[in-house]
A and B are shown apart, each in its own frame.
Chain A
Amino acid sequence: MSVLEKINTDFATLFREGYSQLEQGCGAVMNGCRKEAFEKFVQLGGIPQKQEDYLYTDLLPVFNKDYRVVLKYIPQEVDMNETFRCAVTDLVTTPVLTVNGWWFDGNMVSEIPEEVVICSMREACIKYPDLLYKHYNRYAPAARKDGLVALNTAFAQDGIFVYVPDEVVLERPVQVINLLRANADLMGFQRNLVVVGKNARATVLVCDHTLSDHHFLMNNTTEVSLAQGAYLDYYQVQNQHLGASQVNSLFVSQQRKAVFDGNMVTLYGGLIRNNMYVALHEEGGECNLYGMYILDKNQVVDNFSYIDHIAPHCVSHEHFKGVMDDHSLANFSGYIRVRPDAQKTEAYQANNNLLLSEQARVNSKPQLMIDADDVKCSHGASVGQMDEEAMFYLRSRGIGPEEARMMLMFGFAHDIIRHVRLEPLRRKIDDLIDKRLRGELSKCYHCMMQCKKQE
């Protein structure tokens, strides 16, 4: 039996034997999707292997480990000080924690407008079945060929549910802190749903952290629904240790004049795959997607995006930048799809990469699929080195070579970070990137535990 077959068979066994446990404590909405999703996973050949959309990323080594899968919630002690690792000075947020993909039972959500809901998915299934029926697993099937999203739907039992009703402005950002902690290698599934009503506004900030040095593999799916005129500002900061891998799928569905701003910052992690699917269903939608990844050692980051212009008069901007050092590998693949009749579409996409070492690699696949004629679409990709002239400019003003290099790299990264609209957060990310580029940041950076260093 090949490795792939073995992994797929293991999943089948787990699904069969653990099914009753999977259903426990979850509402009918989530349970109702499981079997079909698992069938789809099987039908798609299980873990994506040699597929066009996973062309340059080999998932097998990451999946081929002896992970534990926990099918029921185990109460965890979490030192609330941990959350301070993610604290952003001057930024007041509503923090919620998850542990290994499960809602942390010590979460206290306070000081939010009355009608707003922030709770666990399990709770939402029972308390708000109508909302869930309307939105749960309605957007994820957009990833038609991705077995991993189907796998998440089959196995996910918990996650975060955020609901902002019509006309409500949620001033305070919701800060989701995903913690990973275990005493064995662990695989987890998390499912989140964010529903923003008509003309409502919200900000969601997601931070990923690891608290113990085992191998982790998280398969997360987040669905976002934006009603007419809704606005969501979404940030994800990935800072895990090198043994923590992640498949992260984000699905955004936008109605008329809805605006989605997304920022993905990848600082540390093992293998990280970000899937971003944005569907612009009605006129006037706008999507801005920015990403920055800084890699070294054996890190692999694979950003995949699919922006689907279904309706006319929508705008999308996408810009991903990366710095690769050591043996790292960065893959970027971005589709812009303009459907027939989606006239007056404006779609721009760019991917720029800096290679710092002989062994670093980059694969870039910016793709346009245009089926309407009155559009303005462009994409660009580049791979290169530090600009000699810019270096010379700085050197001639008495700045040392190392410092000049740092300044240029920082400038390169800041081009993306400047799109962060929350000023305190922008300062914090700039600071993290500065430290990261100088090699001062590791996962142990201002961690209280001072456990033995990874890598």
Chain B
Amino acid sequence: MDNIIEEVTASDYKYGFVTQVETETIARGLNEEVVRMISAKKNEPEWLLDFRLQAYRHWQTMKMPHWAQLDIPEINYQDIVYYAAPKQKEQKNWDDVDPELKATFDKLGIPLNEQMALSGVAVDAVMDSVSVKTTFKDTLAERGIIFCSFSEAVQHHPDLVRKYLGTVVPYRDNYFAALNSAVFSDGSFVYIPKGVRCPMELSTYFRINARNTGQFERTLIVAEDDAYVSYLEGCTAPQRDENQLHAAIVEIIIEKNAEVKYSTVQNWYPGDKEGKGGIYNFVTKRGLCRGENSKLIWAQVETGSAITWKYPSTILKGDGSVSEFYSVAVTNNYQQADTGTKMIHIGNNTRSRIVSKGISAGHSSNSYRGKVKVARNARNARNFSQCDSLLLGDKCGAHTFPYLEIENPTAQVEHEATTSKIGEDQIFYCNQRGISTEDAVGLIIKGYAGDVLNKMPMEFAVEAQKLLQISLEGSVG
């Protein structure tokens, strides 16, 4: 049985290649000059530069947080390259895109060519600090939907960006949010106008390629009244011995009766079997259900990154707003994850649901950290949380840190958590019916994570399931 676990956990990271493409980078280090330089390169308006500088000055007064159940080695913020862009010509059409880049995204299975693409998904592909290509832009524009890279949005829709930027995650929010606000490079911007149901899934694919760089992307999604969008996010990085930093911000604003579904398959390079290398993934994601009956669903599969520090949260401000959080977090080898969610109930009759499934193997440490807060005037709030942990191996750890803060007597809040390993009786049952131990474990894990995987959009569910299998290949006991 131990052998099988080893086999399962021992599989390789298949996105670890490096693209040979000429990259324009700036010198290492961070200072006001660098912030100005990034802003200048992107030809940004004055107000955005001010926003960056304010954030940078605030960041300088802050200290790195240490409360998470993570062992984070000292990060030298002066040793990181804050801007790296693959060099490319002005692109008019598909043929202008650097063939190397095309090949890269092909290899990752991300269709940048609209003819070749699955009809259902529009993609914004981001490599290092810039967006390479956004597909189906025109099709979407016909319905008034704006889907483009963040830099483009700053140029073409400055009013919208200015109106919403930093309203959900202010730059003072936390250490990494301040850092990101100062040096963010690119990301996606989505605007769904009133009453529009987005006809296809929108997707952003983030790729770190250049060495010694950090990626600081910023995503902003606005759904006006009665709008609907399903948004997917994926990410990978090359296999390197040194650690790279990724600090992103995602802001979502949801108006009356609108619904946003945000799905993530996070597969940054997790480091090798000895825990060398890998991405530090420090992300702030937050949605604001501003209007009545608005709805936000988070669905995430977290398999990558050496260290993950991530709490997609929802502020339920509108009366009757709803939020759901579904997560599968897998850690293996020496990976560390401290992840969870926050549900802040402010409006009346708000509901939230949290389903978190942790799977730890190898020497990894996997923590769920979540907060459910019911404000004093939030009547009839309802929350249910379920946080299960599955341990595959005796050297790994599973931790659960829920925080329940209830200030209104009409609230109904429940939290449940269990920690266990795969039962020998379960395996025996399968073996008895001719299912090999490895398959049995696969089945059991699939069943265990099923609640969450079923919430993923079709295109992702398949990938997520495969990823889960690969991440745990050989780790079953």
Q: Which residues of A does B touch, CB under 8 Å?
A: 52, 56, 340-341, 343, 353, 355-358, 360-385
> From residue A144, how far is it (CB to closest CB) to chain B in Å?
16
> From residue A351, how far is it (CB to closest CB) to chain B in Å?
9
Partner of A366, one of B405, B407, B415: B415
6 smallest A-B Cβ distances: which pairs? Answer: A355-B409, A373-B391, A364-B404, A368-B400, A371-B397, A377-B419
Given contact pairs A340-B394, A340-B395, A370 touches B404 in the complex (Cβ within 8 A): no
Distance A341 CA – B69 CA, assembled complex (angstroms): 20
Distance A374 CA – B396 CA, assembled complex (angstroms): 11
Q: Which residue of B lies closest to A378 (CB)?
A: B418
Partner of A378, one of B396, B409, B416: B416
Q: Which residue of A lies closest to B374 (CB)?
A: A383
A-B residue pair count with CB separations less than 8 angstroms: 114
What are the residues of chain A within 8 A of B417 when measuring CB–CB? Answer: 366, 368, 378-380
Partner of B399, one of A362, A368, A375, A382: A368
Q: Which residues of B does A touch, CB under 8 Å?
A: 67, 69, 376, 389, 391-421, 477
Query: Is B420 a contact of A383 with CB atoms below 8 Å?
Result: no
Query: Is B402 a contact of A370 with CB atoms below 8 Å?
Result: no
Partner of A379, one of B400, B403, B413: B400
Query: Is B395 a contact of A370 with CB atoms below 8 Å?
Result: no
Query: Is A370 a contact of B419 with CB atoms below 8 Å?
Result: yes
What are the residues of chain A within 8 A of B408 when measuring CB–CB? Answer: 355, 358
> From residue A45, how far is it (CB to closest CB) to chain B in Å?
15
What are the residues of chain B within 8 A of A362 when measuring CB–CB? Answer: 404, 406
Q: Which residue of B lies closest to A373 (CB)?
A: B391
What are the residues of chain B within 8 A of A384 when measuring CB–CB? Answer: 411-414
What are the residues of chain B within 8 A of A377 when measuring CB–CB? Answer: 418-420
- Beyond A358-B408, A373-B421, A376-B420, 19 additional contacts (C-beta under 8 Å) are A340-B394, A363-B405, A367-B399, A368-B399, A369-B399, A370-B391, A370-B419, A373-B391, A373-B393, A374-B394, A375-B391, A377-B418, A378-B416, A379-B400, A380-B417, A381-B415, A382-B415, A383-B411, A383-B412
Question: What are 30 contact pairs spanning A and B, CB under 8 A?
Answer: A340-B394, A341-B394, A353-B406, A362-B406, A363-B403, A364-B402, A364-B406, A365-B401, A367-B402, A368-B389, A369-B69, A369-B397, A370-B389, A370-B397, A370-B399, A370-B419, A372-B391, A373-B421, A374-B421, A376-B420, A377-B419, A378-B416, A379-B416, A379-B417, A380-B415, A382-B412, A382-B414, A382-B415, A384-B412, A385-B412
What are the residues of chain A within 8 A of B409 when measuring CB–CB? Answer: 355-358, 360, 385
Secondary structure of the A contact surface, majority rule: strand
Query: Is B406 a contact of A383 with CB atoms below 8 Å?
Result: yes
What are the residues of chain B within 8 A of A366 when measuring CB–CB? Answer: 400, 402, 415, 417
Q: Which residue of A lies closest to B416 (CB)?
A: A380
Query: Is A361 a contact of B407 with CB atoms below 8 Å?
Result: yes
Distance A220 CA – B389 CA, assembled complex (angstroms): 37
Distance A363 CA – B406 CA, assembled complex (angstroms): 6
Query: Is A52 a contact of B414 with CB atoms below 8 Å?
Result: no
Partner of A343, one of B69, B394, B398, B418: B394
What are the residues of chain B within 8 A of A52 when measuring CB–CB? Answer: 67
Query: Is A368 a contact of B413 with CB atoms below 8 Å?
Result: no
What are the residues of chain B within 8 A of A371 when measuring CB–CB? Answer: 396-397
Distance A381 CA – B400 CA, assembled complex (angstroms): 13
Q: Which residue of A lies closest to B392 (CB)?
A: A373
> From residue B188, how far is it (CB to closest CB) to chain A in Å?
36
What are the residues of chain B within 8 A of A375 when measuring CB–CB? Answer: 391, 419-421
Distance A56 CA – B477 CA, assembled complex (angstroms): 40
Q: Which residue of A lies closest to B417 (CB)?
A: A379
> From residue B402, how far is it (CB to closest CB) to chain A in Å?
6
Query: Is A368 a contact of B419 with CB atoms below 8 Å?
Result: yes
Partner of B414, one of A341, A361, A378, A381: A381
> From residue B121, how far is it (CB to closest CB) to chain A in Å?
38
> From residue B444, how far is it (CB to closest CB) to chain A in Å?
14
Distance A366 CA – B220 CA, assembled complex (angstroms): 34
> From residue A331, how far is it (CB to closest CB) to chain B in Å?
10
Distance A277 CA – B55 CA, assembled complex (angstroms): 43
Query: Is A372 a contact of B394 with CB atoms below 8 Å?
Result: yes
What are the residues of chain B within 8 A of A356 when measuring CB–CB? Answer: 409
What are the residues of chain A within 8 A of B421 when measuring CB–CB? Answer: 373-375
Distance A363 CA – B402 CA, assembled complex (angstroms): 10
What are the residues of chain B within 8 A of A374 when measuring CB–CB? Answer: 394, 421
Query: Is A385 a contact of B410 with CB atoms below 8 Å?
Result: yes
What are the residues of chain B within 8 A of A367 when measuring CB–CB? Answer: 399-402
Query: Is A363 a contact of B404 with CB atoms below 8 Å?
Result: yes
Query: Is B406 a contact of A380 with CB atoms below 8 Å?
Result: no
> From residue B120, how far is it (CB to closest CB) to chain A in Å?
40
Q: Which residue of A lies closest to B365 (CB)?
A: A371
Distance A380 CA – B388 CA, assembled complex (angstroms): 11
What are the residues of chain B within 8 A of A376 when measuring CB–CB? Answer: 418-420
Q: Which residue of B lies closest to A56 (CB)?
A: B405
Distance A78 CA – B411 CA, assembled complex (angstroms): 47
Q: Which residue of B lies closest to A349 (CB)?
A: B417
> From residue B76, how far is it (CB to closest CB) to chain A in Å?
27
Distance A343 CA – B421 CA, assembled complex (angstroms): 11
Partner of A381, one of B402, B407, B412: B402
> From residue A145, how far is it (CB to closest CB) to chain B in Å?
13
What are the residues of chain A within 8 A of B396 when measuring CB–CB? Answer: 371, 373
What are the residues of chain B within 8 A of A369 when measuring CB–CB? Answer: 69, 397, 399
What are the residues of chain A within 8 A of B414 when measuring CB–CB? Answer: 380-382, 384
Q: Interface centre among A366, A373, A376, by most B CB within 10 Å?
A: A373
Q: Which residue of B lies closest to A385 (CB)?
A: B409
> From residue B340, how far is it (CB to closest CB) to chain A in Å?
12
What are the residues of chain B within 8 A of A378 when measuring CB–CB? Answer: 416-419
What are the residues of chain A within 8 A of B398 when measuring CB–CB? Answer: 368, 370
Q: Which residue of A lies closest to B383 (CB)?
A: A383
Given contact pairs A340-B394, A366-B415, A361 touches B420 in the complex (Cβ within 8 A): no
> From residue A219, how far is it (CB to closest CB) to chain B in Å?
27
What are the residues of chain A within 8 A of B405 when measuring CB–CB? Answer: 56, 361, 363
What are the residues of chain A within 8 A of B412 when measuring CB–CB? Answer: 382-385
Q: Which residue of A lies closest to B389 (CB)?
A: A370
Distance A128 CA – B376 CA, assembled complex (angstroms): 55
What are the residues of chain A within 8 A of B400 when measuring CB–CB? Answer: 366-368, 379
Distance A373 CA – B418 CA, assembled complex (angstroms): 12
Q: Which residue of B lies closest to A329 (CB)?
A: B407
What are the residues of chain B within 8 A of A373 when measuring CB–CB? Answer: 391-394, 396, 421, 477
Distance A52 CA – B65 CA, assembled complex (angstroms): 13
Q: Which residue of B lies closest to A368 (CB)?
A: B400
Query: Is A381 a contact of B411 with CB atoms below 8 Å?
Result: no
Distance A357 CA – B421 CA, assembled complex (angstroms): 41
Query: Is B419 a contact of A381 with CB atoms below 8 Å?
Result: no
Given contact pairs A375-B419, A378-B419, A365 touches B392 in the complex (Cβ within 8 A): no
